Amino acid sequence: MGEGCGFAEMKEWCRSIPKIELHAHLNGCIRDSTLLELAKELGQKGDIIFSDVEHVIMKYGRSLTECFQLFDLFHILATDHETISRITKEVVEDFAAENVVYLELRTTPKNNIAKGMSKQSYLKAVVDGLKAITSVDASFINFSGRAESFCKPLHKSGTNDIKRKKIYVRLLLSIDRRETTAAAMETVSLALEMKECGVVGIDLSGNPVVGEWSTFLPALMYAKEHGLPVTLHCGEIANRKEIQEMLDFSPERIGHACFLEEDDWERARLSKIPVEICLTSNLRTERLSSIDVHHFGNLYKAQHPLVICTDDTGLFSTNLSNEYYLAAATFGLDKKDLFYLSTNAVEFIFADDGVKKVLREIFQDAESRLAVELHS
């Protein structure tokens, strides 16, 4: 961490600077308090045995096994439209509270005939959650395709007004590695249909030991052919063949990249593919022995395009400010380094040039406001 800057001051800096979040899974970001409340309700209905999950929900710093236990619970919760809308609203509010000014929120559209849920109605529930946001000014593209605007008017400045946080939100639709080619194709078709409600790309995620690359490739190619950017969870485990196939595909970004070998990095370097870095997630899911050996260090030194992200704020008990702080504390970054790391992330977003332009202005304003601290 930069010399002359204490822990508390650095933590406050990490919270106060504008930030961009490009790798966050909706259901992995559920608030603990909401999870507890919803799990209690499910327990009362007899859908789950509450005492089996209570201690995991209450725990800070969950083990890998406990994380997967919670994923199963998330899947039960995600069968209700109202719950999806509520989680979406809260997740966006939580990111805005951390001064995230642009959020690319990813989620896996779910089909559940018994509950009257289709992938499309799931996505509509997500958009309804965005519409329901009142405590911050969230800018997203309306389901009906209306031009975007901040969903609440700005308060007139007055003595009693608190400056409201503003956040741009875009959606990525995830293909779960458990899905079939047809289901993956359905997700990409939905994304193309719903571009007008702020869907800007496709993600491939889910348990990395499940599924084959060849199953997802047709759908991912379809996305590419139709100009929809793709980000892949790549190299979460040591699977050389799949890592190479993924790099052959030339995705617009990759997430994690924990198990790339030197040859793979050579290719990634040549193509300058931005990497979504999720420090706490990689540590908790035991992708590395300790944080100081994380590939962030070498990539940062080599000036490779990077963006610091959270992955699952709820699951891993973290937030984006905390991830910036962790990077600073582990790899000796100072305030200026963090600010420009955050600024550079604007170039890797999937939203259009109009949004990029606005974000560049937000960072320029912040640079002027923070000039003293940035150049001291």
Given ligand IMP, Zn ion, none, residue 27, with its beta carbon under 5 to 8 Å by kind, binds ligand IMP
User: Judged by CB under 6 A, which stretch of 9-17, 20-28, 117-125, 368-376 contacts ligand IMP?
Assistant: 20-28
Using CB under 5 A, which of 98, 179, 186, 311 touches Zn ion? 311
Helix/strand number for the chain, H first, E second: 16, 10
Q: How far apart are CA 189 and CA 120, in angstroms?
A: 10
Q: Could you say whether residue 201 binds ligand IMP (CB under 6 A)?
A: no
Using CB under 6 A, which of 176, 179, 276, 323 touches ligand IMP? 176
Catalytic-residue membership of 236 = yes
Given Zn ion, ligand IMP, none, residue 71, with its beta carbon under 5 to 8 Å by kind, binds ligand IMP
Using CB under 6 A, which of 233, 253, 294, 295 touches ligand IMP? 233
Residue 219 CB partners (closer than 8 Å, separation 6+): 175, 181, 184, 185, 187, 188, 202
Q: Could you say whether residue 21 binds ligand IMP (CB under 6 A)?
A: no
User: Judged by CB under 6 A, which stretch of 26-34, 127-135, 336-344, 366-374 contacts ligand IMP?
Assistant: 26-34
Q: Is the dihedral of CA 288, 289, 290, 292 positive or negative?
A: negative
Q: Could you say whether residue 104 binds Zn ion (CB under 5 A)?
A: no
According to DSSP, residue 154 is labeled P
Residue 108 CB partners (closer than 8 Å, separation 6+): 173, 174, 175, 176, 187, 205, 206
Q: Could you say whether residue 71 binds ligand IMP (CB under 6 A)?
A: yes
Closer of 175 and 366 to ligand IMP (Cβ): 175
- Categorise residue 212: left if φ over 0, alpha if ψ from -120 to 50, beta otherwise: beta
Residue 326 near residue 279, CB atoms below 8 Å? yes
Catalytic residue among 236, 242, 276, 323, which?
236
- Categorise residue 109: left if φ over 0, alpha if ψ from -120 to 50, beta otherwise: beta
DSSP β-bridge partners for residue 253: 231
Closer of 1 and 26 to ligand IMP (Cβ): 26
Closer of 139 and 231 to ligand IMP (Cβ): 231
Q: Could you say whether residue 83 binds ligand IMP (CB under 6 A)?
A: no
Q: Where are the alpha helices (DSSP H) in 212-261?
A: 213-225, 240-249
Q: Could you say whether residue 323 binds ligand IMP (CB under 6 A)?
A: no
Closer of 1 and 204 to ligand IMP (Cβ): 204
Closer of 242 and 311 to Zn ion (Cβ): 311
Closer of 176 and 242 to ligand IMP (Cβ): 176
Q: Could you say whether residue 10 binds ligand IMP (CB under 6 A)?
A: no
DSSP β-bridge partners for residue 255: 233, 276
Between the CA of residue 31 and those of 14, 15, 106, 264, what are the distances in Å? 21, 18, 16, 37
Positions in 107-126 near ligand IMP (CB under 6 A): 107-108
Residue 358 CB partners (closer than 8 Å, separation 6+): 168
- Least Å distance, CB 81 to ligand IMP, is 14
Q: Which residues bind ligand IMP (CB under 6 A)?
A: 25-28, 71, 74, 78, 107-108, 174, 176, 205-206, 233, 236, 281, 285, 311-312
Active site residues: 236
